[in-house]
Amino acid sequence: MNISANMLGLGNAATPFGIKAMEYLQELNRKESASNAMCRFLVINTASIQLIPAVVIGLRASLGAQNPADFVIVSIFSTATALTAGLIFNNFIEKMSIFRE
Protein backbone atom coordinates (compact mmCIF):
# COMPACT_ATOMS: atom_id res chain seq x y z
CA MET A 1 0.00 0.00 0.00
CA ASN A 2 2.86 2.35 0.81
CA ILE A 3 4.56 2.04 -2.55
CA SER A 4 1.23 2.28 -4.39
CA ALA A 5 0.31 5.48 -2.56
CA ASN A 6 3.72 6.95 -3.32
CA MET A 7 3.40 6.08 -7.01
CA LEU A 8 0.12 7.97 -7.10
CA GLY A 9 1.74 11.00 -5.48
CA LEU A 10 -0.14 10.65 -2.20
CA GLY A 11 2.81 11.00 0.17
CA ASN A 12 0.80 11.84 3.29
CA ALA A 13 -1.44 8.81 2.77
CA ALA A 14 1.63 6.60 2.35
CA THR A 15 3.29 7.57 5.64
CA PRO A 16 1.27 5.35 8.03
CA PHE A 17 1.77 2.35 5.74
CA GLY A 18 5.51 3.03 5.59
CA ILE A 19 5.78 3.27 9.37
CA LYS A 20 3.92 -0.01 9.79
CA ALA A 21 6.15 -1.72 7.21
CA MET A 22 9.27 -0.50 9.02
CA GLU A 23 7.90 -1.84 12.32
CA TYR A 24 7.39 -5.26 10.73
CA LEU A 25 10.90 -5.18 9.26
CA GLN A 26 12.36 -4.15 12.64
CA GLU A 27 10.91 -7.29 14.24
CA LEU A 28 13.12 -9.39 11.96
CA ASN A 29 16.51 -7.95 12.91
CA ARG A 30 18.59 -6.59 15.78
CA LYS A 31 17.17 -3.49 17.43
CA GLU A 32 20.41 -1.46 17.34
CA SER A 33 20.71 -1.10 13.59
CA ALA A 34 18.70 -1.06 10.40
CA SER A 35 18.78 -4.18 8.24
CA ASN A 36 19.62 -4.17 4.55
CA ALA A 37 15.93 -4.71 3.79
CA MET A 38 15.01 -1.66 5.86
CA CYS A 39 17.58 0.49 4.05
CA ARG A 40 16.37 -0.75 0.66
CA PHE A 41 12.75 -0.06 1.60
CA LEU A 42 13.73 3.43 2.71
CA VAL A 43 15.42 4.10 -0.64
CA ILE A 44 12.41 2.79 -2.57
CA ASN A 45 10.05 4.79 -0.38
CA THR A 46 12.03 8.02 -0.57
CA ALA A 47 12.86 7.95 -4.28
CA SER A 48 9.76 6.18 -5.54
CA ILE A 49 8.54 6.54 -9.10
CA GLN A 50 5.70 9.05 -9.28
CA LEU A 51 3.32 7.88 -12.00
CA ILE A 52 0.67 10.46 -11.15
CA PRO A 53 2.05 13.35 -9.07
CA ALA A 54 -1.43 14.29 -7.87
CA VAL A 55 -0.39 16.96 -5.37
CA VAL A 56 1.70 18.91 -7.88
CA ILE A 57 -0.98 18.61 -10.56
CA GLY A 58 -3.53 19.94 -8.06
CA LEU A 59 -1.28 22.84 -7.08
CA ARG A 60 -0.63 23.77 -10.69
CA ALA A 61 -4.36 23.61 -11.46
CA SER A 62 -5.22 25.80 -8.48
CA LEU A 63 -2.64 28.37 -9.58
CA GLY A 64 -4.20 28.58 -13.04
CA ALA A 65 -1.82 26.55 -15.20
CA GLN A 66 -3.18 25.99 -18.70
CA ASN A 67 -2.08 22.37 -18.70
CA PRO A 68 -1.34 21.33 -15.11
CA ALA A 69 -0.16 17.83 -16.08
CA ASP A 70 2.28 18.78 -18.84
CA PHE A 71 5.31 17.83 -16.73
CA VAL A 72 4.27 14.23 -15.95
CA ILE A 73 6.61 12.54 -18.48
CA VAL A 74 9.60 14.48 -17.15
CA SER A 75 8.52 13.65 -13.60
CA ILE A 76 8.35 9.92 -14.35
CA PHE A 77 11.80 10.01 -15.95
CA SER A 78 13.40 11.98 -13.13
CA THR A 79 11.89 9.86 -10.35
CA ALA A 80 12.87 6.65 -12.18
CA THR A 81 16.42 7.98 -12.47
CA ALA A 82 16.50 8.87 -8.77
CA LEU A 83 15.20 5.42 -7.81
CA THR A 84 17.74 3.66 -10.02
CA ALA A 85 20.62 5.73 -8.62
CA GLY A 86 19.44 5.12 -5.06
CA LEU A 87 19.19 1.36 -5.53
CA ILE A 88 22.61 1.17 -7.20
CA PHE A 89 24.16 3.15 -4.35
CA ASN A 90 22.32 1.00 -1.79
CA ASN A 91 23.66 -2.20 -3.37
CA PHE A 92 27.17 -0.72 -3.42
CA ILE A 93 26.97 0.20 0.28
CA GLU A 94 25.56 -3.23 1.22
CA LYS A 95 28.58 -4.94 -0.33
CA MET A 96 31.13 -2.85 1.59
CA SER A 97 32.64 -4.85 4.43
CA ILE A 98 32.27 -2.00 6.91
CA PHE A 99 28.46 -2.13 6.62
CA ARG A 100 27.95 -5.91 6.68
CA GLU A 101 25.92 -7.39 9.48
- pLDDT, tens digit, for every residue of 80-94? 999 999 999 999 998
| Helix, strand, coil % over all residues of the chain, rounded to 5 | 70, 0, 30
Per the structure, the complete domain to which residue 15 belongs is given by 2-99
Q: Which distant-in-sequence residues (6+ apart) come within 8 Å of 38 by Cβ?
A: 22, 25, 26, 29
Per-residue confidence (pLDDT) for residue 99, from 0 to 100: 67
Percentage of the chain lying above the pLDDT 90 cut: 37
46-51: average pLDDT: 86
Give the distance from CA 82 to its chain's centroid: 9
Residue 50 clears pLDDT 60, i.e. is over it: yes
Q: How far apart are CA 37 and CA 41, in angstroms?
A: 6
Domain tally, the chain: 1
Longest dimension (CA), the chain: 53
Angle of the 36-46 helix axis to the 72-95 helix axis, nearest 10: 160
The answer to whether the predicted template modeling score (pTM) of the entire model surpasses 0.75 is yes
Per-residue confidence (pLDDT) for residue 30, from 0 to 100: 78
